[in-house]
Structure 1
């Protein structure tokens, strides 16, 4: 503390003298205190504390806003970052990380497919005449399933058919649902690119894409019937999705883009009691599916003319599989031979079965009964040796199938479904893809085949742009 003195002014002295003449004479002292630094906080606490509190809150608020802005920009940048696939190597990422980077799981926007059951991934533009039901065994790996879905889009199967995937449980369905969504999106992107190229002045060559969009156009008047799946939409279905164009039908009427629905069911929905469980210690989907088909086909019995049943795990569809049954009677059921080392016993292949809707419904109604009968004939140690291929083979020669009420016109092909590995073994280089595409259905028994087919697809500039694993 310091002390400083100064004389009063005359006016001040006079005034003071007048009022207090007896008390103040001479020089007065004015005391000015200069507080030391260590006492500043104590002396200024009352006046400075509110200001400091406001300042600190302002700084904290600004800091939070800046931090929030930073994280927002970071998340936006990462979400729009496209990784360079060529720079990703197995040395840097594990197989799982590499796969998740290529195919991130996306939230699903789906609805019920039929009467509060099933999952509808894509509602078609119109009602289709044919139905493909594909059962997905629990042992099916994701890469094989992805290739199967991709090929049914590219082959034109979805241009004329509704496609149903049958899973064993909701958990398995959840595992593969994002694959269906991603391949549906890739198909939409492929359609949009082809439409843009078709409408542009740039000439489009076959060397740029092996995808044929013309297979997905149909006459506009056919689009008046709504699909059986999903919620009814009372609107003009001839209006295709945004970004998908129309084309001249060449004198045969206006053509619009047309495709079928893609959906799935769980076995727990169609066979909630697992009706075969009491007769078999373990019921694989290859058998349980026969207890699911009657409910599904019964509910859509007036909507489809032809049905094909396909095993996803062991089969690839390269072309329309209905070619052999479209001109047959509604009671027809077409079966392939199965290669068997024992030539004395004729077997049929249960991986692919096609036929008229009536014949297929009758077969699906009979098969569960025959499976139970076969299970009861086996002893306990061999209960799980029941094979639907063997049961089908027995039904083909059974007189029961030729009765008036259960007439099924079986047509057994003299050919077997070709194995992909044997087709590749006879060719090399560019002839591989051509050899595979010459067949509507091939037996998928080699993971190298998947690599070769994907490599062929990715060799085209336009096609490779829509598939992230190219």
Structure 2
């Protein structure tokens, strides 16, 4: 403040001197500002370095955790790696006199059955020539399905056929999933029981289990099943040496689909106010059987509610042409009704729609024509509720022109009611391979379950005995 500027006649030079005076006057403040800027820059730089270091440490930590391998990869016993099959794997311990190798294909829970659709409940040991498609109508309960499965496994058909369940909804398939798995596990328990006892498990009554159906001899190469992911199964999942002859356990797959997967738009909804499962199933067969057209030779279409199997019924069609379809008929209950429609049906017989079987080509053609005839019937009848699949199928069976590409085999074979099971001998099971529940058998389920539980060798297998 004690300095003075020299006088200068040049205003410009004087102005520069004044500026220099100001610089000298604020020298201390200028240093403070410069120091502050340097401190701020250092702080920002340190923060940036710290964030980068933290990000690098987190990246290394996540990489380490993702590639970490435990020293013991086997999960705890109370958390099985495959809960769907854990109990089944226990059924086949290694034994000295009958060494059983790999038991079953290791499939994950809720595996898809085919091309991203359906549910795989059990993967079979090989590709089968025969297929059973069982539809589950609306009023089927768990006891009905349990009885159907229990008799099906005893019939021996699952030793040479795959089983497909067709459900009316995804909630229905979820509700029945536990029943299907329980009966699958009971089947393996029976196999293990007779394997441990070195017995053959021959059928000594019409309801007993014959394990010889499921043991096949020879070393013939087999084709892998189409259900589930390829490579998950084994060509021969179980084998044993009996008296110098190689035998292996053979069984089919068990899968399920709901109608929304095979008929997502409900094709018949535009023709009927309510489409029952008995009719909607015909809209599902074209997609299902079309995808399987090169995989099976013989097919059975079966109603879970009203029909059950005691033995393999396909012996009726195995020697027939691929276009053959075997149908069962019964006399019409109304003579007047039969006369009134005789010109249309050309027959006084009603077709039993609960079971149809034949060559894969014939069943596929019949299902396609049947869907067209259902649509035709809904357009001709004013009362839509009066349309039944048995009536439509009976008219179709009487019209030879429409089914000219199908070799229709009509039989008036008598179907026994399940109430007559007590009078059947083991030898009669092949003669009465198909039985029906009947109208007056309200306690049929408990009756047959009790008869099965009376078989001493098998009573310990089932929880309800």
The normalised TM-score by structure 2 is 0.69
Kept in 1, the 8 Å contact 2:330–2:412? The answer is no
Q: Number of aligned residue pairs: give it.
A: 343
How far, CA to CA, are the matches of 1:295 and 1:204 in structure 2? 39
Other structure's SS at 1:195 match: helix
How far, CA to CA, are the matches of 2:204 and 2:361 in structure 1? 43
Confirm whether residue 176 of structure 1 aligns to residue 176 of structure 2: yes
How far 1:272 moved relative to its partner? Answer: 0.2
Confirm whether residue 410 of structure 1 aligns to residue 408 of structure 2: yes
Instruction: Give the structure 2 partner of residue 467 of structure 1.
Output: 462
Other structure's SS at 1:466 match: coil
Instruction: Give the structure 2 partner of residue 274 of structure 1.
Output: 266
Instruction: Give the structure 1 partner of residue 16 of structure 2.
Output: none
Decide which of 351, 355, 358 is 1:352's aligned counterpart: 355
> Would you identify which runs of 4 or more consecutive aligned residues in structure 1 move more than 4 Å?
203-209, 432-436
Instruction: Give the structure 1 partner of residue 150 of structure 2.
Output: 150
Decide which of 417, 432, 436 is 1:443's aligned counterpart: 436
Cα 1:402–1:374 change in 2 (3 A) is closer
Root mean square deviation of aligned Cα: 2.4
Decide which of 225, 231, 243 is 1:233's aligned counterpart: 231
Q: Which runs of 5+ in 1 are unaligned?
A: 1-107, 425-429
Alignment of 1:325-404 (within 5 A): 325-343=317-335, 344=338, 345-379=348-382, 382-403=383-404
Instruction: Give the structure 2 partner of residue 246 of structure 1.
Output: 240
Decide which of 207, 222, 225 is 1:224's aligned counterpart: 222
How far, CA to CA, are the matches of 1:433 and 1:323 in structure 2? 19
How far, CA to CA, are the matches of 2:318 and 2:113 in structure 1? 26
The normalised TM-score by structure 1 is 0.69
How far, CA to CA, are the matches of 2:304 and 2:250 in structure 1? 24
Instruction: Give the structure 2 partner of residue 7 of structure 1.
Output: none
Kept in 1, the 8 Å contact 2:303–2:354? The answer is yes
Q: Which runs of 5+ in 2 are unaligned?
A: 1-107, 339-347
Cα 1:433–1:451 change in 2 (3 A) is farther
Other structure's SS at 2:315 match: coil
Confirm whether residue 125 of structure 1 aligns to residue 164 of structure 2: no
How far, CA to CA, are the matches of 2:118 and 2:217 in structure 1? 30
Kept in 2, the 8 Å contact 1:130–1:160? The answer is yes
Decide which of 228, 237, 252 is 1:260's aligned counterpart: 252
How far, CA to CA, are the matches of 1:136 and 1:378 in structure 2? 27
How far, CA to CA, are the matches of 2:235 and 2:224 in structure 1? 7
Alignment of 1:66-81 (within 5 A): none
Alignment of 1:138-217 (within 5 A): 138-198=138-198, 210-217=208-215
Kept in 2, the 8 Å contact 1:337–1:417? The answer is no
How far, CA to CA, are the matches of 1:207 and 1:416 in structure 2? 24
CA deviation map 1:412-459 (0-9, x unaligned): 1022322223x36xxxxx536769845100111223332332122111
Kept in 2, the 8 Å contact 1:134–1:310? The answer is yes
How far 1:247 moved relative to its partner? Answer: 4.2
Cα 1:207–1:277 change in 2 (3 A) is closer
